[in-house]
Structure 1
Amino acid sequence: MRAEPQSGRARWRSGKAIAGVSALALGAGALGVALPAYAAEGCEVDYTVANEWSSGFTANVEVTNLGDPVDSWELVWEFPGDQQVSNGWNADLSQSGQTVTASGSGWNGSIPTDGSAQFGFNGDGSGEIPGEFTLNGVVCDGGTDEPDPEPTDDPDPEPTDDPDPEPTDDPDPDPEPGERVDNPYEGADLYVNPVWSDNASGEPGGDAIADEPTALWLDRIGAIAGNDSPTTGDMGLRDHLDEAVAQAGDRPMNIQVVVYNLPGRDCAALSSHGELGQEEIGRYKTEYIDVIADIMDDEKYSDLRISTIIEPDSLPNLVTNVGSRDTATENCDTMLDNGNYVEGVGYALSELGEIPNVYNYVDAGHHGWLGWDTNLSPSVEVFHEAANTAGATVDDVHGFAVNTANYSALEEPHFDVDDTVNGQQVRQSDWVDWNQYVDEQSFAQALRDEAVSQGFDSDVGMLIDTSRNGWGGSERPTEPSSSDDLNTFIEDSRTDRRIHPGNWCNQSGAGLGERPEAAPASGIDAYSWIKPPGESDGNSEPIDNDEGKGFDRMCDPTYEGNVRNGNSPSGALPNAPVSGHWFSAQFQELLDNAHPSVQ
């Protein structure tokens, strides 16, 4: 059942309260929160009841600022009954009587114009929707509170001496095609790759998603001209750009291109090794990046917005899989020593960044890889080094992409990293393993903050690959566990159903995630399907091929694991083809387990 209240909305599901979870910054009395430098002129609130049970409910709240940027914010509402907030996440909450105040802090502490902040809480009582919300004292009615202009004293003012006044400096609210914008996904249509679309529509039920936009992967030099791969087909990069121009209508068209062919590519995984040897940086520059840049710089594509995702699974390896770490590999040590990952990424950023309508997003792993303090900050240092190498500057980096071709849940709805269960922190659980994050959205927002603190532009945006992280189906928990045992609580509550968060290859039980969406949350440029659903992560047994791709035991369903996945079973599907090739069984499983459902 779905109810549409006066302000916000409710999605009703069954649920149960979290047992033994401590409250966050809750208490009666007035708050002493600093007021923002600018007052909001308007706002809107999306209040969603995610779960409701006999004695309580879970609510997710998104507040969108329609006015001036706010440096700090307070959202206030009154419960319509005797509801009580019990614990919350991503905001500081307090309650006095029926009045609840939520305020931002840390990465969630400011809201730009047209930006949003998201938080949630568990409450006692019914999930009845509050009637009104105010942001820093302004009623959130979806509009602005600009007063009507005062009438002039003279109803017939004298005409000005200048019959043609100069136009104002206000920018056009609807950018023209080809105009540089802050978020290339906002206000744009996204390119639908006809090769992937044909593969999807050829599957039972695939028509339901065949029109979704997916990224184009240039995973070897031959893909630039067209090499009959599942992603490009016999269409080369120029053919796809021509098709993007043809698909464009009244709105700008954004085409997403994955640049993926570094020398010694993916030094920690055999299944995605590439065609270029570890020392072939010259070929990477002249035969790959230069050719791509020349095509993208063609004047006939100048009205397109081209989002490039730069070299997945590369730079983070130079932090986590080198030196004395027990996860180190000889190949990664070599790539750290020869500098060709940093050199190659820097060169790609420099050459592509010179093209006015290209927006570079550097791949930044995922929370299950870089979520620990010992990994996150050092990785951003490597990103910054690459962004200042081979002629590149930080201005060539428009943002970062996370969860590319991975399965980490966008958000874990039933617990937060700061929660406790029976006196134990969620971080202590075997699944979280002292990670600072439990999902991709909180990780992406934190990584963005860290990047800005280390010298990247303050307006960098994030992409989150949601193509395979929905984790729906019958195994998806619909409510928090009632167990007071920490590990049991986490195992029964988590929506990410992998055996271990280090598992990455053709994961059994995965489902399609959130559909591509522009500006879905603060600091996030888009949810995107970067990895086209149905394209394999790697072969489940040795297969000869001419693409340089090897056999990685993490793609073998019989493999019992290694130190990178806690010596756990791989969780991979059987009968998988070489990475990038069409995998019908995986596509069907992703379709069946989609969340939100495609039905």
Structure 2
Amino acid sequence: MTGRYRRLVAGMVTIAALGVGCGRQPDTSLHPDPPNIRYAPLRHPFHDATLYVDTNTATTRWQKAHGADWLDPITSRPQARWINSPRDLAGVPRMVTRAKDRGELPVFVAYYIPNRGCTDFKQGAPDAAAYDAYLRDLVDALGAVSSVIVLEPDAATADCYNAGRGKLLARAVKALTSAGHSVYLDAGHSRWRSPGEIATRLLQSGIADAEGFAVNVANRQTTTDSYRWGLELSDLVGDRDFIIDTSRNGSGPPPDDPGRDDEWCNPRRQALGAPPQITHRPHLAALLWIKAPGESDGKCGGEHTYLFSPTQASNLIAAARWLPQAERAAARSAS
């Protein structure tokens, strides 16, 4: 038995209780036999690509309305467009047309899985049929422009993950890849679950047909830790490539603060991480800004919104040591 196979079997053992969080028993028939998995050929969508710079984000709209040039470190760089519901599909055709005209690669986040927040279906699609309809509409909106899709942050890592959700994710992967798009299944982050456990879930969720997986989406683990963890996970899922979200990991994870139960929500210490870029490190396809920099985590940490916050944006820029001092100072003055 190879080392890789032993680790994967260990991961399958740890997941024996899958579905308990949602009150369902796991479907053990979905556990794959690793030696027999057939992986689709990699597309390598980032090879020689230029990342799309979205000029219609909440940040750029606020910048234009307030003449806030200090936001240029964020608005001048590529970031992903989130498709959180069918309503968000309206702007997709125009975006992909602009990307095609400019010869740039767009990145989207599909985020509408049923029971998205494990809150008794209060978030996300109301049921599987509605989710399938959303996927069909997404494919239609994307048209013939090949895009990168980050699929369902937290869906495979959540406590309420079960075999049914795995089947739904696998169907989504198939629908999007069959239409010519490159899918990266979200895998959580380096301090959440073990690589073995996540490998089992990703295999159930269609990773064999996907381009790879995404690490650290909307989180603040360091790029170094994320890359190490991603390599371990890649080794368990057919050496698939992965991407890392660096949108706000420049200061690393916030420290444990006994005085704040919500330190992870709009923490006081945070910074823009490395700018979006194509990489040439083994299995690491790109560093991306997947979570929109400057978007509030919610009504916490002194914030009263879930939307763009100039305070959050100015803090991220001011603390980003890789930026020129003048840009950091301009953001600091604006806060």
Corresponding residue to 2:128 among 273, 281, 296: 281
Write out aligned runs for 1:175-190 (5 A): 182-190=43-51
Deviations along 1:335-367, one digit per CA (max 9) or x if unpaired, are 53xx442132112101001023x1110000001
Corresponding residue to 1:383 among 188, 199, 202: 202
Write out aligned runs for 1:48-197 (5 A): 182-196=43-57
Q: Which residue of 1 aligns with 2:217?
A: 404
In our comparison, the structure showing a higher alpha carbon Rg is 1
Amino acid at match of 1:442: R
What stretches of structure 2 of length at least 5 have no aligned partner? 5-40, 326-335
Q: CA deviation at 1:186?
A: 2.5
- The number of residues matched between the two structures is 280
Q: CA deviation at 1:184?
A: 1.4
Q: CA deviation at 1:508?
A: 2.0
Amino acid at match of 1:351: A
CA contact (8 A) 1:219 1:274 kept: no
Change (3 A) 1:445 1:504: farther
Change (3 A) 1:522 1:200: farther
Q: Which residue of 2 aligns with 1:589?
A: 315
User: What secondary structure sits across from 1:189 in the alignment?
Assistant: coil
Q: CA deviation at 1:182?
A: 4.2
CA contact (8 A) 1:513 1:595 kept: no
Give the distance between the partners of 1:204 and 1:273, measured in 2 at CA: 38
Runs of 4+ in 1 over 4 A off after TM superposition: none
Corresponding residue to 1:470 among 250, 257, 266: 250
Write out aligned runs for 1:241-390 (5 A): 241-248=96-103, 253-267=104-118, 274-277=123-126, 280-286=127-133, 288-296=134-142, 298-299=143-144, 301=145, 305-317=146-158, 321=159, 332=160, 336=162, 339-356=163-180, 358-370=181-193, 375-387=194-206
CA contact (8 A) 1:208 1:598 kept: no
Q: CA deviation at 1:199?
A: 3.8
Q: TM-score, normalised by structure 2?
A: 0.76
What stretches of structure 1 of length at least 5 have no aligned partner? 1-105, 108-179, 226-235, 322-331, 388-392, 412-438, 453-457, 472-494, 541-555, 557-572
Deviations along 1:512-544, one digit per CA (max 9) or x if unpaired, are 00011112422100001111101222x21xxxx
Is residue 246 of structure 2 the alignment partner of residue 518 of structure 1?
no
CA contact (8 A) 2:296 2:303 kept: no
Is residue 268 of structure 2 the alignment partner of residue 508 of structure 1?
yes
Amino acid at match of 1:498: P
Q: CA deviation at 1:247?
A: 2.3
Percentage identity across paired residues of the two chains: 25
Give the distance between the partners of 1:283 and 1:406, measured in 2 at CA: 28
User: What secondary structure sits across from 2:183 in the alignment?
Assistant: strand
Q: TM-score, normalised by structure 1?
A: 0.44
User: What secondary structure sits across from 2:148 in the alignment?
Assistant: strand
Change (3 A) 1:504 1:355: farther
Give the distance between the partners of 1:462 and 1:346, measured in 2 at CA: 17
Change (3 A) 1:200 1:590: farther
Change (3 A) 1:530 1:378: same
Is residue 60 of structure 2 the alignment partner of residue 198 of structure 1?
yes
Amino acid at match of 1:575: E
Q: Which residue of 2 aligns with 1:209?
A: 74
Q: Which residue of 1 aligns with 2:18?
A: none
Amino acid at match of 2:231: Q
User: What secondary structure sits across from 1:368 in the alignment?
Assistant: coil
Q: CA deviation at 1:276?
A: 2.5
CA contact (8 A) 2:74 2:293 kept: no
RMSD: 2.6
- Would you tell me which structure has more helix in proportion to its own residues? 2
Give the distance between the partners of 2:49 and 2:248, measured in 1 at CA: 23
Structure scoring higher RCO (CA < 8 A, sep ≥ 6) equals: 2
Q: Which residue of 1 aligns with 2:228?
A: 442
CA contact (8 A) 2:254 2:264 kept: no
Change (3 A) 1:206 1:520: farther
Amino acid at match of 1:284: Y
CA contact (8 A) 1:498 1:507 kept: no
Give the distance between the partners of 1:307 and 1:342, measured in 2 at CA: 20
CA contact (8 A) 1:361 1:401 kept: yes
